[in-house]
Chain A
Amino acid sequence: MSMTIAEKILAKASGKEKVEAGEIVMADIDIAMVHDLTGPLTLQALEQINTDKVWDPEKIVIPFDHQVPADTLDAAKNHQILREFVKEQGITNFYDVYEGVCHQVVPEKGHALPGTVIVGSDSHTCTNGALGAFSTGIGSTDMAMVFATGQLWFKVPETNRFNITGKLQENVTSKDVILNIIGQVGQDGSTYKSCEYAGETIQEMEMSDRMVLSNMAIEMGGKTGIVEPDKITDEYLKNRTNKTYTKFTTDLDAPSLNTIDIDVSDLEPQVACPSHVDNVKPASEVEDVEIDQVFIGSCTNGRLKDLRQAAKVLKGNKIKEGVRTLVIPASRTIYQQALKEGLMDIFVEAGALVCNPCCGPCLGGHIGLIGDGEVSLSTSNRNFKGRQGSPEGKVYLSSPIVAAESAITGHITSPENK
Chain B
Amino acid sequence: MEKIIEGRALKLGDDIDTDSILPGRYLTLSKPEDLGKHVMEGYDLHYKDKIQEGDLIVAGANFGCGSSREHAPIALKAAGIKAVVAKSFARIFYRNATNIGLPLVEAPNGPDEIEEEDILKIDLEEGTLKNKTQDKDYDFTKLPEFMFEIVENGGLIEYLNKTRFD
**Contacts of A119-177 to chain B: CB distance below 8 A:** 120-123, 125, 137-142, 144-145, 148-149, 153, 155
Residues of B within 8 A of A121 (CB): 68, 70
**Contact indicator A149/B20 (Cβ below 8 Å):** no
Residues of A within 8 A of B45 (CB): 391
Task: Report A202 CB to chain B, min CB distance, Å.
Answer: 24
Mask: chain A, 228-249; 1 = CB below 8 Å from B; 0 = not: 0000000000000000000000
**Contact indicator B156/A123 (Cβ below 8 Å):** no
For residue B30, CB closer than 8 A to chain A, the reply is yes
**Contact indicator B68/A37 (Cβ below 8 Å):** no
**Contacts of A206-253 to chain B: CB distance below 8 A:** 218, 221, 223
State which size class the interface on A falls in: 35 or more
Bound-complex Cα distance A325 to B43 (A): 26
Partner of B25, one of A120, A145, A218, A365: A365
Spot the interface stretch: B2-10, B95-103, B108-116, B126-134: B95-103
**Contact indicator B42/A148 (Cβ below 8 Å):** no
Residues of A within 8 A of B29 (CB): 74
For residue A95, CB closer than 8 A to chain B, the reply is no
**Contact indicator B157/A49 (Cβ below 8 Å):** yes
Task: Report A369 CB to chain B, min CB distance, Å.
Answer: 7
**Contact indicator A78/B165 (Cβ below 8 Å):** no
**Contacts of A238-270 to chain B: CB distance below 8 A:** none
Bound-complex Cα distance A139 to B166 (A): 24
Residues of A within 8 A of B30 (CB): 40-41, 44, 78
Bound-complex Cα distance A141 to B15 (A): 24
**Contacts of A35-89 to chain B: CB distance below 8 A:** 37-38, 40-41, 44-45, 48-51, 66-67, 72, 74-75, 78
Main SS class of interface, B: loop
User: Quick one: closest B residue to A153, CB to CB?
Assistant: B146
**Contact indicator B95/A123 (Cβ below 8 Å):** no
For residue A187, CB closer than 8 A to chain B, the reply is yes
**Contact indicator B156/A142 (Cβ below 8 Å):** yes
Residues of B within 8 A of A369 (CB): 25
**Contact indicator B24/A187 (Cβ below 8 Å):** no
Answer whether A387 and B19 are a contact pair too, CB < 8 Å, given A24-B146, A153-B146: yes
Residues of B within 8 A of A276 (CB): 15
User: Quick one: closest B residue to A382, CB to CB?
Assistant: B66
Residues of B within 8 A of A145 (CB): 156, 160
**Contact indicator B15/A187 (Cβ below 8 Å):** yes
Spot the interface stretch: B49-57, B77-85, B86-94: B86-94
Bound-complex Cα distance A49 to B99 (A): 13
4 closest residue pairs by CB, A with B: A386-B42, A365-B24, A139-B96, A363-B24
Which residues of B come within 8 Å of A, CB atoms?
15, 17, 19-20, 23-30, 41-45, 61-62, 65-71, 74, 88, 90-92, 95-96, 99-100, 144, 146, 155-157, 160-161, 164-166
Q: A41-B30, A140-B70, A387-B42 are in contact. List 7 more A-B contacts (CB 8 A).
A: A44-B30, A45-B157, A74-B28, A123-B66, A148-B165, A188-B62, A386-B23
- What are some 19 contacts across the A-B interface (CB < 8 A)? A41-B71, A41-B74, A49-B165, A74-B29, A78-B30, A139-B70, A139-B95, A139-B99, A140-B70, A140-B96, A149-B160, A187-B15, A188-B65, A191-B88, A363-B19, A365-B27, A384-B20, A385-B42, A386-B19
Which residues of A come within 8 Å of B, CB atoms?
24, 37-38, 40-41, 44-45, 48-51, 66-67, 72, 74-75, 78, 120-123, 125, 137-142, 144-145, 148-149, 153, 155, 187-188, 191-192, 218, 221, 223, 276, 363-365, 369, 382, 384-387, 389, 391
